[in-house]
A = this chain, B = another copy of it.
């Protein structure tokens, strides 16, 4: 085929993918081509705008080295990550809602003892977490594998700090016979997503801020259940309504209630001031 015009070129490209052996790939390419062409027809980019897009996409790939993944950040800030999350988690009513994994999860952490302090000396207000994991009928999930990770009091994850040579503010636990995981840590803080690359350029040019409201990350895996990836956000955070990655759900917000200095901290811990606690039940769908 030759002599394509602004409309007929779409069928020409679709036709070229007609021999794709994998039916799923064929379906994906067809959808991609149709929506991409529709978008280009609507935007009517100049040659200079097209070249800017080529260079933006190139830079986004080139800055993604080591711990940095700018394409995930782009997906997050365009709401695509949460949309993919929603599509893949059409959960039964009552199941704990999901949110983005984010770029700071680290696999294969060593197992911590119940009651451990994962802050490992990081400064901040002490926080005691008592998390319960259960199936949809409320039955405790014993022996589930639970990962937790969070930012420090300056808004950084351990993997972003070159001065740390071991894990901090992250840990992996097995739930006990009551399906519980208990540990000490510090309060998480709000933090900006990396802002010095192409995604930062986009946020600046569109007058969007890069902040995420404070949260703890939880991932829970139990046999016979869908692995849960979620956060528990801190109520009152000023970025709850404008999370840069669109991750906030009301059911995932908790007050992390303040405990007076006089309240006896679990585990007989000696604390100078007030502390906070999070009691949260997670329900995993089958």
Report B-chain residues with C-beta under 8 Å of the C-beta of A57: 57, 60-61, 71
A86 at interface by CB-CB < 8 Å = yes
Q: Which residues from 187 to 223 on chain A have a C-beta closer than 8 Å to any C-beta of chain B?
A: 205-208
- In contact, B2 and A84 (Cβ under 8 angstroms): no
Stretch at the interface among A74-82, A161-169, A175-183, A260-268: A74-82
Choose among A25, A39, A81, A205 the residue with the greatest number of B CB atoms under 10 Å from its CB. A39
A249 at interface by CB-CB < 8 Å = yes
- In contact, A49 and B28 (Cβ under 8 angstroms): yes
- In contact, A13 and B78 (Cβ under 8 angstroms): yes
Known A20-B206, A43-B28, A61-B64; judge A84-B50 contact (CB<8 A).
yes
Report B-chain residues with C-beta under 8 Å of the C-beta of A54: 69, 71-72, 75
- In contact, A206 and B69 (Cβ under 8 angstroms): no
Copies of this protein in the complex? 2
Report B-chain residues with C-beta under 8 Å of the C-beta of A95: none
Report B-chain residues with C-beta under 8 Å of the C-beta of A29: 206
Q: Which of B26, B38, B60 contacts A61 (CB 8 A)?
A: B60
Return A172 CB to nearest CB of chain B, in Å: 20
- In contact, A62 and B62 (Cβ under 8 angstroms): yes
Stretch at the interface among A4-12, A123-131, A139-147, A271-279: A4-12
Known A4-B246, A38-B35, A58-B69; judge A22-B79 contact (CB<8 A).
no
Report B-chain residues with C-beta under 8 Å of the C-beta of A43: 27-28, 31-32
A136 at interface by CB-CB < 8 Å = no
Choose among A9, A35, A250 the residue with the greatest number of B CB atoms under 10 Å from its CB. A35
- Binary CB contact string for chain A from 87 to 115 against chain B (1 if under 8 A, 0 otherwise): 11000000000000000000000000000
Report B-chain residues with C-beta under 8 Å of the C-beta of A250: 2-3
A251 to B37, CA, bound (A): 24
Q: Which residues from 241 to 286 on chain A have a C-beta closer than 8 Å to any C-beta of chain B?
A: 241-242, 246, 248-251
Across the A-B interface, the 6 shortest Cβ-Cβ residue pairs: A61-B61, A35-B39, A13-B79, A20-B206, A19-B207, A2-B248
